[in-house]
Amino acid sequence: MDIICVDLPSRRNRYSLTYVVLSIKHQSRIYVRVYTDGASSVPSIFNIFNSANWLEREIWDMFGVPFSGHPDLRRILTDYGFFGHPLKKDFPLTGFFEIRYDDTSRRIVSESLNLIQELRLFFLNTA
């Protein structure tokens, strides 16, 4: 059903991957957790579950966790020229450039891009 990845850089094996497998026949779910440091690859389950193709590609694209035996491990959400993996905790938030078309000046402009990471507080009214 799903593969969930969490980046915990304070641990030796900083990535925690949780596989959620559903059996419709037996009406049960199994959760399998795998830990990796990011340098060593995790065996792909694509040969067993074809739907893992996109999930493993997304985890590689966002976190940089490699999967051994995956037939097509390439970027799926970011651009092909993108450098880095944006959901890693140590991903830099400054130093990037955005290239876009400006309608007012009718030309392509290159601007410095600062990704803002603010602390957000959510209050739930339980009235």
* Averaged pLDDT for residues 51-78: 93
More confident residue, 98 or 36: 36
Report the C-alpha gap between 19 and 33 in whole angstroms.
6
Q: Report phi then psi at 97, rounded to 5.
A: -120, 145
pLDDT in tens, 2-57: 999 999 988 999 999 999 999 999 999 999 999 999 899 999 999 999 989 999 99
More confident residue, 111 or 62: 62
CB within 8 Å of 45: residues ≥ 6 apart: 19, 52, 56
- Does the pLDDT of residue 113 top 80, yes or no? no
Average of pLDDT values for 58-84? Answer: 90
Spans of all domains in the chain: 2-82
| Whole-model pTM over 0.85 | no
CATH top-level class of 2-82: alpha beta
